Amino acid sequence: MNNLPVFNFKNSSDSMTINVEKSGTQTTSYIRPLLVLDSSAINQENVELQSGASVIEKLRTAERLDFDQLRDVRVGYEMTDEDDQPGLVTFEPAWYVFGDNRWQKVPSGGGTNEME
C-alpha cells in the first residue's frame, strides 16, 4: 500500500494466507484471499512516526534484541481486520524490523523490551 509493505499479525491466517494442495504434480485446491481496497478512507487520521534515528537508537539499547542480527528496518502498514465489522480493515503505519527470519513491529510507545 503506497509502495510500503503491509503486515497482518493478528489475523494473518484469515486474510493473508494462500493455501495450495497438490496430489502428485496436480494442484487439487487453491484458496487465496480476494481483497479489494476502496481508495476512499472512512476515517483518515494523520499518524506521526518516530524518526529513523530514534528507532535505531531504541533498537541498539533493547535488552531482548540482538541489534547485530537485524537485517532490515522499515516503515510499513499494519492491517487489522475489524472483528465487529466484517469486510472492514484498517491500515496503520509503524516501524518494523526483520531479524531471526521474521518481521516484528517496533512498539511506538515505551522501550523495545516488549519485542521478543
- pLDDT at 9 (0 to 100): 72
Of 78, 68, 29, nearest to 59 (Cα)? 68
All cell numbers assigned to 96? 518494523
Model pTM score: 0.70
How would residue 16 be classed by pLDDT, with cut points 50, 70 and 90? low
Assign 15 a pLDDT band (cuts: 50, 70, 90): low
Within 13 A of 107's CA, how many CA atoms are on the CB side?
Answer: 11
pLDDT at residue 45, as a whole number? 83
- Give the span between the Cα atoms of 33 and 100, in whole angstroms: 27
Rounded to 5°, angle at Cα 53 from 44 and 92? 20
Looking at residue 111, what is its pLDDT? 57
Q: Give the model's pLDDT for residue 6.
A: 85
The answer to whether residue 34 scores a pLDDT higher than 80 is no
Tell whether the model's pLDDT for residue 49 goes beyond 90: yes
User: Cα separation of 49 and 93, whole Å?
Assistant: 8
> Are residues 13 and 33 in contact, defined by beta-carbon separation less than 8 angstroms?
no
Q: For residue range 56-95, what is the model confidence (pLDDT) as tens digits?
A: 998 988 888 888 889 999 999 998 877 777 777 788 999 9
